[in-house]
Structure 1
Amino acid sequence: MACVLIVGAMLVTVLLQVVFRYALRAPLPWTDELARYSLIWLTFIAAALVMGRRRHIAVHITVRLGPRPSRIVLIAVGAVVAATCALMAVLSISMMERWSKRISTVLELPMAAVVAALGVGFALMTVHAIAGMIADARLSDADVLAQFGDSTDEVLL
């Protein structure tokens, strides 16, 4: 729902910019900045949403190893993803601190609010990666084979 609202806000903002700039010849100064910051938030919220649905692009080459090694690789990859996302979430906090005194040019928003998108997105991705690892650990051998089988067109990570 958040992604739909952000896309809707971006659509309205860009349409306003086009109408005011080209039809009325009086461009609105804030629309570009709002659309840009909305896109940043959309990127990280959507990335977390996609991770939660396990729809990120991945390459799965462990099917031929059998279900148990495949499960182990899935869990290991999930651990690397979770650790990376957690690290990025922590680093985004220091980035927010560094940007806390900066204000956006037109909207006069604190830039920490914009940079917070990284922390929120990576924190959500960390939670989803951990949930995915738990789900992978609970898979039976039959579930691994059924989930991945011989299919090469859809891959879950």
Structure 2
Amino acid sequence: MAALLALYWRVLRLVELLEITLGVLLLAGVVAAIGAQVVSRYLLGTPLVWVEEFATYAFIWATFLGTSVGLKRGRQIQIATFVSGLAPRREALFRTLAHALVLALLVLLARQALKVMPIEGSSSSVSLPVQLPRDLFYSLPLFVSMVSMAATTLYFLAAELRLAATGERAPHLPQAAEEGIL
């Protein structure tokens, strides 16, 4: 079980690296596009009509990717007052319950995003140089983020179950878990 959890964590870390890379590229694109807009508007007198829409869509994607990275790194807000005084195995059981609830919510949100996609896909971008369906910028980032966070939460759930059952910590919990934040 430990080897499987370690492999699963390595895959999640690769996904995290991809999410970080895409997020940084998107935010760099936002900065570059807004910089080009400033130059075009104030120095050349001809504003670029697509910059605001591009910046909005890129920021939405970067935000959802960032939430997924934050969960992988254990940077979400948690209140652990009640469980912090329990024995480690009992505490792990309560965290298991919390992860199960979070997983259920993430799956529900992902399913809802899938339901909305055809509706949003019927309209397209307004000012971008190419017409793209709007679901690429609203429902799809939500869906991708929820799936990634569900995969991460599934790892946390398995790690906590292992701790509750055997008293052994998972081999590769994120830093925050090792510091007792998770």
TM over 0.5: yes
CA deviations 1:13-41 (Å, max 9, x no partner) are: 11112222223221100011000000111
For 2:85, give the aligned amino acid. R
Q: 1:109 maps to what in 2?
A: 132
Q: Percent identity?
A: 27
CA contact (8 A) 1:57 1:155 kept: no
Q: 1:29 maps to what in 2?
A: 49
**Structure 2, unpaired ranges of 5+:** 1-20, 171-175
Alignment length (residue pairs): 151
What TM-score, normalized to structure 2? 0.75
Q: 2:154 maps to what in 1?
A: 130
**Match for residue 39 of structure 2 among 4, 16, 19:** 19
* 1:45 paired to 2:65: yes
2: CA distance between counterparts of 1:148 and 1:117?
27
| Displaced runs of 4 or more, over 3 A | 140-144
CA contact (8 A) 2:74 2:177 kept: no
CA deviations 1:87-141 (Å, max 9, x no partner) are: 1011001111111110111112211211211111111111111111111222364
RMSD of equivalent CA atoms: 2.1
**Match for residue 119 of structure 1 among 122, 131, 143:** 143
CA contact (8 A) 1:59 1:155 kept: no
**Structure 1, unpaired ranges of 5+:** none
What TM-score, normalized to structure 1? 0.87
* 1:71 paired to 2:97: no
2: CA distance between counterparts of 1:78 and 1:105?
40
CA contact (8 A) 1:44 1:117 kept: yes
Q: Post-superposition shift, 1:148?
A: 7.2
**Match for residue 59 of structure 1 among 61, 75, 79:** 79
